[in-house]
Structures are given as C-alpha cells and as structure tokens.
Chains A and B, each alone.
Chain A
Amino acid sequence: MIRPLGAAVRGDVLAVLDTVMDPEVPVLSVRELGIVRDVLVDDRDGVTVVVTPTYSGCPAILEIERDILAALAAAGFDNAKVRTAYSPAWTTDWIPESARAKLKAYGIAPPGRAAEDGGLVQLMRARTAPPCPYCDSRDTEVRSEFGSTACKSVCWCRHCGQPFEEFKAI
C-alpha cells in the first residue's frame, strides 16, 4: 500500500508511533517516553522520524529504531527513515503525567522533576527516595542509583518490604 504524503499524514504517523512500545518498559510508547522529537513528512523524502536517545549507551536504541520502522512499514509507510538528534538532550521531564501513572501501576516509581543544576556539579548525592509504587509509603530508601537498565535505580520499601525500581530523573 502506498500512502499519499503531506501534512495530513503527520497525524497518521504519530498515531502509529503511539503503538510502538519501549522494549524495556513496555507500558510506555516511544512518544510517551519523550524520545520522538519530530516527524517530518514531505513528498520527496517521505517520512522521517527524529528521535533522541535516553542514554548514550542504551542498548535498546537500535531495537527501538527497528520497531518504529517496522510499525510504519506495516501501516504503509514503506520508506520511512529514523534520524537521531542529540540536542536538546533527553529529559524525564518530557514524560507526561498520564504516562507517569502507567509507570506507577507497572510497579516503577515515576521520575521526580529533573534537578536544575545549582552549579557545575553536585559531588554528593542529596535526594530523598521516591514513595513506594505499591503501598505509597514514604518510608523508602535508594539501594543503588544503578538498576537493571540505565534509566532505573533500585529502591526498597521499609513499610511493605517490597524492592522496587525508580525511573531516574535526568
């Protein structure tokens, strides 16, 4: 199927991207994750999706690109391209409230506000642990800033005894 291109199909492309889930956090679409920065459509070049990586070394980057192209091809956008942009750098502030609720329901504490840096660097950690996504207790602690994927830290709830992951604010 060959689709006509033009401004009108941009919405169609976005609707397709709403169905492409992050492979590591499959309750969020790539749009909810904030990594789709733009969709360019023109008659000569076709569809180009501009994405930005979450972390430089995220091993899911290539898989996400392939998933986007496969979903677009299935919807009739055969020659779509993915382009990577590094600026502005990805921030968890781009994850909307609705998506944060999905994270919590999935058992991952959603990210807090990404700290506006007060100066060049904060040498020591000074932050409170997020509330437990299971029992909402604030009696929690950060066990490790590094978890099963680059985007998550490992926390512990003292109230319900449940270990849980947090989507790190960055």
Chain B
Amino acid sequence: MTSPAPSIVPAPPPKPNALFEYLQRLGDDRLILGHRLSEWCGHAPILEEDIALANVALDLLGQATILLRMAGEVEGRGRNEDALAYFREAVEFRNCQLAELPTGDFGFTIARQFLFDVYDVVLLDALTKSTNAELAAIAGKSLKEARYHVRHSGEWMLKLGDGTDESHRRVQAALDELWRYTPELFAVDEIDDELAANGVVPDLAALKPAWESLVREVFDRATLTTPNDVPRPPRARGGRTGAHTEHLGHLLAEMQIVARSHPGAAW
C-alpha cells in the first residue's frame, strides 16, 4: 500500500483585503505625483510658480500620509505610512501610471496635473458619500484642496494653450502623449466591484463623463485639441495591479534611499 502522493497544487493566494488595496491606490497616486511635483522645487520658471507647485506637492503628500496611515491600520500588520512609502517595492505600489511619468517640461507637468486634478475633484466628491465614515471624512478634507489645485492647473492650461505658438505646441504635445494614460483612471477590477457593492467607493466608470466634460470645456477654451481615444481593455491593469512603467523604479530609488540606508532614523 502506498501513501497518497503529496499534493502539488499550491494553496490559492489569500484574497486581498479590498479596502487596503483601494487605500493604497488613493494614497500612492498622491505620494508619487506629489514626489514628481516636488522635483520642481528650485527649478520652476518663476518664483511664484515654484512656491505654487511645492504647495500642491505638500497637500498631496499630506493626503498620502493620512490615506496610507489608514491603509496600514486596515491591513493590521503593524505597517505605518512610512513603512508603506519607503519599504514597498515598485510592484507593490498601486498608483496610476499617469502619476509616475517623468516631469518633462513645464507644459507636460501642467497638463498631467490638470488631467489628474479634475479626476481628483470628481472622485473625492463621490467619496464624500462613502459608507466608510473615515474615508468620507478624509475625502471631504482633501476635496477642498483639490478644488484650488484644479483652478491653478486649469488657469495654466488656458495661459499655455491660448498663449504663444511655442506654449501651445508644447502643451498640445503633452496632451497627445498623456491621453493614453487617462483610461486607467476609470478602469475597474474586482477590488472596485467589491467596495462599490457596499457603497464604500463610487462606480469609477460612471464618473468618467463628468471628468471628460470638464476637461474638454477647458481644452476648448484653451484652443487645444482633444486627442483621439486609444482602445483599451475596460478592466484595470497597469499601475492599479502593480504593473508600472520603468520610471517608477527610478523615482523610488531616489525617494526611498535615505530611509533604507538608515532604517529607523528620526530627527
């Protein structure tokens, strides 16, 4: 009599904690985009703009701190916001690819920021109605900030788009490059489905028309042409599931090196 062969079928991976995943998506968008904006500190075309971009970066980093702290509490494994920011690998980050693209020129920075800011306002407004009271409160707080962020980037879209030939050419080129990264903002997967079923998060796909009409309104006034849509699968891939462009790793190397070289350091 022989003993039964040991099973070679691995145990299924544990079901991800949907709220933990979602909070990382929200938090990482802000952490990574905030870091990109901070790269302008000391380099912006005029002093007022240097200060403005640093201010917006600070708001985004503050929101990321609050969201990743909550993510760590929801996960329940003792990780705080710093552990999540500095000790995860690129494949563990959940930000959209739009946020991680290199800074580019000023037109690229403003166009990316505008596309994100409008998305942020639409999403945060919907999240204020979340059945999770803590998430709704954070969204309400952040929405106030997102509203003046979008006024800042929206005004620059007008100035650059309806400005000189050079500024128009640059911001249009940025839009043409960035447009294919925008469907990811509204693509959903089983994480969104599970949370939306309980009213914790909104149906992202249903938010897209509001976003699109707002961005097109500004494109028209700025004499910019809306790029053609690129067909894309409707389910979330890319950054939301940890697949990133090559650029995120370089960003993280710079962002994480001090914390990793001196673990536990404080001042």
Contacting pair A57 B61 (CB below 8 A):
yes
Contacting pair B51 A87 (CB below 8 A):
no
Which A residues are in CB contact (< 8 Å) with B125? 120-121
Counting chain B residues whose Cβ lies within 8 A of the other chain, the interface size class is 35 or more
Which A residues are in CB contact (< 8 Å) with B142? 56
Query: How many residues of chain A get a CB closer than 8 Å to chain B's CBs?
Result: 29
Contacting pair A124 B155 (CB below 8 A):
yes
A55 in contact with B59 given A86-B138, A121-B214, A123-B214 (CB within 8 Å): yes
Residue of B nearest to A126 (CB): B151
Q: Does B178 contact A (CB under 8 A)?
A: no
Q: Which of A59, A88, A123, A144 counts the most B-chain CB atoms under 10 A from its CB?
A: A123
Which A residues are in CB contact (< 8 Å) with B48? 143-144, 146, 154
Given B54, B121, B141, which contacts A121 in the complex, CB threshold below 8 Å? Answer: B121
**Secondary structure at chain A's binding surface: helix, strand, loop or mixed?**
loop
Contacting pair B140 A124 (CB below 8 A):
no
Distance in Å: Cβ of B86 to nearest Cβ of chain A: 18
Q: Does A170 contact B (CB under 8 A)?
A: yes
Contacting pair A58 B62 (CB below 8 A):
yes
Q: Which of A55, A121, A154, A170 counts the most B-chain CB atoms under 10 A from its CB?
A: A121
Residues of A bordering B, CB below 8 Å? 53, 55-59, 85-90, 117, 120-125, 143-148, 150, 154, 168, 170
Q: Provide a sorted-by-A list of 30 A–B residue pairs whose CB atoms are within 8 angstroms.
A: A55-B62, A56-B59, A56-B141, A56-B142, A56-B145, A57-B62, A57-B63, A57-B65, A59-B58, A86-B134, A86-B140, A87-B136, A89-B144, A117-B147, A120-B122, A121-B214, A122-B147, A122-B151, A123-B150, A123-B151, A124-B151, A124-B155, A145-B148, A146-B52, A146-B54, A146-B55, A146-B56, A147-B51, A150-B59, A170-B148
